[in-house]
Amino acid sequence: MLKIDIQNLRKITNAFLEEGKAVYAPRPLGMGDFAFDRIENHEDFQIEGFVNTLLPPKEIFFRQMETIGRFGWKKKGLCEDVEPEIEDKVLLGIRPCDLEGLLLIDAFYDRVGADMPYKRRREKTFIIAYACPEPADTCFCVETDSGPWAKRGFDWQLHWLDEGIYLLEVGSEKGKDMADRFADLMEKAGEDDFKLLEVKRKETLGKFKNRPYVKKGIGNITKVGGEVYRYLGERCFRCGGCNYLCPTCTCYNVADIGAREGERVLFWDSCQFEGYSRLAGNLNPRPDQGSRLKFRFECKLAEWNVETYGRIRCTGCGRCIYTCIGDADIDLFLKKASET
């Protein structure tokens, strides 16, 4: 392991920016809000001092809304594709839950083989993960095996030792080459650093809210009764927020906006909408909110995920808990499922 401080991390960031890489990192928005966004200056990012960004960094690759084509009937007629921009990217400060989310989305699109802007954007991404020292109340990555530090998928991972001082773990060949390149900005970590890391990790784990029901609830998923879904269904007000903020949700819809001329737009969809599963003739295999919630929880937690993706598709980021307008979130579901 290596050791780096924030000044040198900024120097490296500056080098990335100078050679034309697109650097995406958490940026303070004021009044405690943060967003993962493209930065233009190496002073613009902040990686510690907050838990996570509200919007998962998946949005950088899989846009909330993007134009994939244009059409029109004027003159000769117009019908053209709009290609996503291809950049050499650096993702700096992504949290382990969100990194695991990206890996799951990768696996999903690999499996279905869709030609998505997502896939083209994901190529050439250098990932610098940030192991979380401080969980929020809603975090439960420890229970879903996706945090608070990442075990795969990163080129570098930063572990917090003290304010502005990190251990740097190399996670790939690419990461090793890059670390060699910037060797003069890092030092080798010593025995004391490893000891300190162990202490810090223990502290971090101790800060998680105890959720023994998560694993039990996941184990019970096939046994959950209709009354649980009915209860939650009555309390879901269909905002779509749980899907939109989920680091592993992949569903989208495509619509043509405009009549004589306009755009073909690809945008996030939510399985919590009635129209999502509505078929021709107004038939709906998931006719009530309870069945739609059941679909979502199973899509994230059911055993077939493990068979297909090697793990469940919830990374414990907790976003769907605090964004829920009603009282139908995954935390409550798992509690109820564990009591089944």
Partner 1 sequence: MDVLTVCPYCGVGCGIYLRVRGGRVDAVFPSLNHPVNRGSLCAKGWSVPFFLNHPHRARHPLIRKGNRFVRASWDEALDFVAEKLSEIKEKYGPDAIGVLGSAKCTNEDNYLIQKFARATIGTNNVDHCARLCHASTVAGLIKAFGAGAMTNSIVEFPEADVILITGSDTANQHPVIAKWIVRAQKGGTKIMVVDPRRNPLAQIADLYLQHRPGTDIAWINAFLKIIIDEKLYDKNFIEERTENFEKLVDSLRDFSLDWASKVTGIPLSLLREGARLYAKADRASIVYAMGITQHVSGTYNVISLANLALLTGNVGKRGTGVNPLRGQNNVQGASDLAVLPDVLPCYQRVDDPSVRKRYSELWGVEIPSNPGLTVTEMIHSAGEKIRAMYIMGENPLLSDPDINTVRRKMGELDLLVVQDIFFSETAELAHVFLPAASFAEKDGTFTNTERRVQRVRKAIEPPGEARADWRIIADLSARLGYPMDYSHPCEILDEIQRVCGIYSGITCELLEETFGVRWPYDGKSKEGTSFLHGEKFKTKSGKGIFHAVDYLPPPEGPDDTYPLVMTTGRSGFQWHTGTMTRRTPNLEREAPEAYVEINPEDAFPLGIKDGDRVRVSSRRGEIELKARVTEGIMPGVVFIPFHYREAAANLLTGHFLDPISKIPELKVTAVRVEKC
> Which positions touch partner 1 (CB under 8 A)?
27, 29-35, 37, 54-55, 59, 63-66, 234-235, 237-241, 244, 253, 255, 257-258, 261-263, 265, 267, 269-270, 273-275, 278, 282, 319, 322-327
Please enumerate, as own/partner, the contacts of 78-87 that have beta carbons within 8 Å and a separation of 24 or more. 78/261, 83/120, 84/117, 84/120, 84/121, 85/121, 86/120, 86/121, 86/123, 86/124, 87/21, 87/22, 87/121, 87/124
Q: How far is the CB of 276 from partner 1 (least distance, A)?
A: 8
- For residue 265, list its beta bridge partners: 67, 255
Q: How far is the CB of 186 from partner 1 (least distance, A)?
A: 32
Q: How far is the CB of 321 from partner 1 (least distance, A)?
A: 10
Nearest to partner 1 of 21, 278 (CB atom): 278
Q: How far is the CB of 236 from partner 1 (least distance, A)?
A: 9
Q: How far is the CB of 270 from partner 1 (least distance, A)?
A: 8
> By C-alpha distance, which of 64, 69, 72, 65 is closest to 80?
69
Is there a contact between 263 and 70 (Cβ–Cβ < 8 Å)? yes
Q: How far is the CB of 147 from partner 1 (least distance, A)?
A: 19
Nearest to partner 1 of 287, 310 (CB atom): 287
Nearest to partner 1 of 65, 114 (CB atom): 65
Nearest to partner 1 of 248, 305 (CB atom): 248
Q: How far is the CB of 319 from partner 1 (least distance, A)?
A: 8
Is there a contact between 66 and 84 (Cβ–Cβ < 8 Å)? yes
Is there a contact between 267 and 251 (Cβ–Cβ < 8 Å)? no
Nearest to partner 1 of 203, 256 (CB atom): 256
CA distances from 19 to 27, 33, 170 (A): 21, 29, 22
Burial annotation 190-227 (CB, 10 A radius, 16+ → b, else e): eeebeebbeebbeebeeebeebebbebbbebbeebeee
- For residue 167, list its beta bridge partners: 3, 159
> DSSP character for 76?
T
165-170 and 2-5 strand pairing:
antiparallel
> DSSP character for 144?
T
Nearest to partner 1 of 130, 149 (CB atom): 130
Q: How far apart are CA 106 and CA 108, in angstroms?
A: 5
Nearest to partner 1 of 63, 211 (CB atom): 63
Q: How far is the CB of 156 from partner 1 (least distance, A)?
A: 26
**Token pair for residue 148?**
């608070």
Nearest to partner 1 of 15, 35 (CB atom): 35
